[in-house]
Structure 1
């Protein structure tokens, strides 16, 4: 991505955070978005120095889409202006005076607690997360629900800390945006923490994956979790992997074999065994080659694997035998043939007998 020129329309050269930003904007914004805006203020000390979205992402360990979402949010608040070239590449960020922006139409996203979701378009074209549109009033209303109070209490006990506004907005998004029941949210939190994942961002990824899969009840979530655990731990056991969890790519392979190919663990373990035998290591790519071939040949059980092996051996044996016969035939015809003078041989034979 190309470099972006950063300029201002009158901000001082030192890092200054106007009170109106703290009083009016910071209280309703996502913490990650605030970091981006404050860094832009800090970077103004180096006026007209170019930087990139990747530069911002690397500093805060965000994705580039996270940075674009933050910039889009502040543009909606009328605190910055974004300029793009003809190819839709971001070329300029203009930091506006918050006092002047406050006198304009701020375009602050609002929504009723049970109303339609608010969606904002990021620079990448991706929809912004709805949770960032919730106001403090909506968060307070959310906390008045007795069932929600129980969830927040349980979450704080699990995490061992007090939830901040951003945390509560995240849980509100699960409840109001994703339409999760309090029971499903509680199961989500319990499951993640019991597996060593205490980050609400990680929990949100799981929540979004459940939504994509159409999971709406605790029983459905429990069944999906059980299938995932059985598949992952089965593969780890077959490959002899211990002391670490599978990385994302490895987990994707395991889920592909179990869900897309619908193979039983017996078949998957057999492929893992053959992989170790052939390569001497836990190669997910090699195992995937085996299982993909079995899938194409409509293998459904270990008996089908045996039949496929037998058929392959028969073809191999036939080709080997044919090759051997061809080789023998070639050796016979390639042997240098002797030439004889039959008249001379006959005369020699007559002289010998006489």
Structure 2
């Protein structure tokens, strides 16, 4: 004995659609994306193995381009309610679509949200005085506190140090990142408040900026001027101190007035290797001289900024005479021997010797 059900020639079945889709997801999509989702969901619900359904099938059934079907699946995947499972690596359009259970997603999302709120409610870790003393023995921590005192131009008190040290634990920040937060707060915002700096740290943490590489990249896209200041100061070895407003103005001139690229400016900064104490003003002299000579590219530097060759000059007789030492009144002194001949001088010397000998005998 067997049992069978008669089927109709027409599809008069039912396809249950979750109200979560109708209430939350359907309003955010255009009509084509909704139609693609519903038809695909129907095929998945029917599970008729005799019927092979592809994206081309859906496009033909809805009388829309295949590109619209593919864009619809990309959209729903971005909303997290389907998964695309690749069947053939050679054909990227030939993939299966897995419809996720919206009720289960709803429960998971609300559970994770609840857990997140619980974590937020938890009291942040506080640092004890003994932990602060122990942490100060670590060179990186000690350097961080010294740098912070230098940046804000005053000594931080114990409670402030405890709070700053807690950022390492609560926000998973390295000491160099905390130093950079103080640099940024003072240089760009002009604020030295510990609470304000913590706001910067928290914002970086929320955006996943927990190391120097990601923060510098963030400056590059979000705060181009500050990124340029950092690159210039680092190339001069001056990145261990805050940049002054005057230095910012000079650096801005190189980019805004002279229209130099960062590559050109950093090339100019290489001149700092020639001096013991490099400064922004010294580099400004180099870069301003390039601007005055019409130098705009690295190639121009080779052509227009060559050192001048020393010219060789022939020394004339007049110059030779000028180079000879000047005679003074002592050179014009006439010696008494200038009016006697050598023979007369010899006779005079002989007579003096004879007279001397006679006097010597008489005394004896």
TM-score, structure 1 normalization: 0.32
TM-score, structure 2 normalization: 0.31
